Homo-oligomer: A and B are copies of this chain.
Amino acid sequence: MASKKNDVYDTIIIGAGPAGMTAAIYAVRYKLKTLVISKDVGGVANLAHKIENWPGITSITGIELMQSFKKHVEALGVKILQDEVVKLASGFEVVTSGGKKFKSKTLILALGTVRRKLNVPGEDEFIGRGVSYCTTCDGAMFKNKTVCVVGGSNSAAMAALLLAEYAKKVYIIYRKEALRADPILIERIAKNKKIEVIYNAEITKILGMKFVEKIILNNSKELPMEGVFIEIGGIPSTDLAKEIGVKLDEHNSIIADANMNTNVPGVFAAGDITNTFLDQVVTACGDGAKAAYSAFNHLKK
């Protein structure tokens, strides 16, 4: 029946971060009947309090940049359905937690990552009471307090620099001997008198009464602490990908080729969910465009 046929999308993009939204912008260019489904708009890019390397804009918050993407997508007439996909089946069938069902000829998986946890006692207990996974969201509440960032990556470094604008003291607790953030950030940290890096250390316990009061390190040392910001990266959101047989690498990332093809015909992937070697907004966008073009080429066949 005609009405049924109309319900089939050319492509459903799952995820509305930089990769998914750019894929949507390109899918429109290719006149694909397109739907974007995502729990949130912006993904982990929303957590960046300062993006200084999106070409053409010297400095912008992640949320502002992602909102400009959203407006662009919506101006092109593509709907971003804020819902969570809970089931994927070959064909392709998409089921959301809101109970909606869709059919699509192709899929673009752009689900990004979810934040990795420390998995230590006290972590879950004190979420929202000193433990945070979003410095941008929560940093300003720690004015004149003593806080720590766990991790050694770019996002840990950026978090420490932001916290130093509010807190009286910022520790970076990192399990390795040297931070692996970009040199420009390492230099800024070295120059910042509020920030102290504790290398070769891990938190084993977070303690307190109502709020976080101290942390215990693996050398048994105790540190008085009011805020613990956990910035130890993300786990690719690949549970759905597995359901339809998409191959993952040893880090649980989708294996995508240079044109964003996965091993499953009609399924493409882009952004942090893939095995790309550089997780940046601009690289996710470039790969999102490529994924849409590959979906278009697949449909032309």
Residues of A whose CB lies within 8 Å of any CB of B are 18, 21-22, 25-26, 28-31, 52-53, 55-58, 65, 68-69, 71-72, 75-76, 182-185, 187, 257-259, 276-278, 280, 282-287, 289-290, 293
Contacts and interface: CB of A to CB of B under 8 A. Distances in A.
B57 A22 contact: no
A183 B29 CA distance: 7
Contacts of A57: 68, 72
Contact of A184 (B18, B28, B183, B286): B28
A75 B29 CA distance: 33
A22 B56 CA distance: 9
Contact of A56 (B69, B183, B185, B278): B69
B285 A30 contact: no
A190 to B, nearest CB: 12
A291 to B, nearest CB: 10
A262 to B, nearest CB: 14
A258 B286 CA distance: 12
List 3 tightest A-B contacts by C-beta distance, closest first. A286-B286, A56-B68, A31-B183
A182 B29 contact: yes
B277 A22 contact: no
A280 B53 CA distance: 18
Given A25-B55, A280-B286, 8 more contacts: A25-B53, A29-B183, A31-B187, A53-B289, A55-B69, A58-B76, A258-B277, A283-B286
A290 B183 CA distance: 16
Nearest to A54: B56
A75 B30 CA distance: 36
A104 B68 CA distance: 38
B258 A278 contact: no
